[in-house]
Amino acid sequence: MNFHQDTVEQGAAMAAKVAPPATVSLATIAGYQVNEVLLWATLIYTVLMIGHKLWQIWRDVTRKGGHRGD
């Protein structure tokens, strides 16, 4: 790997580590309670994961084109 790629990966790792506490801090400053933020984050994450799984299933079904492996 080159220097630029290492730097980008390190920056992304730092951003991933800082994002949750920074989001909670900003929400608290904005007047939202931490449990409310966590509830909404969990709801959004769950909906996104269900949507992603449905998309994967749809892609697998349409990719096979109705052909059976028998």
Quick: pLDDT tens for 6-61: 787 888 888 888 888 888 888 889 998 989 888 988 999 999 999 999 999 999 99
The alpha carbon dihedral of 60, 63, 67, 70 has a sign of negative
Phi/psi of residue 3, nearest 5 degrees: -60, -45
Task: Return the residue matching tokens 């984050």.
Answer: 41
* Cα(5)–Cα(19) distance, integer angstroms: 21
* Cα(50)–Cα(63) distance, integer angstroms: 20
Does the pTM exceed 0.85?
A: no
Domain boundaries, the chain: 1-32, 33-70
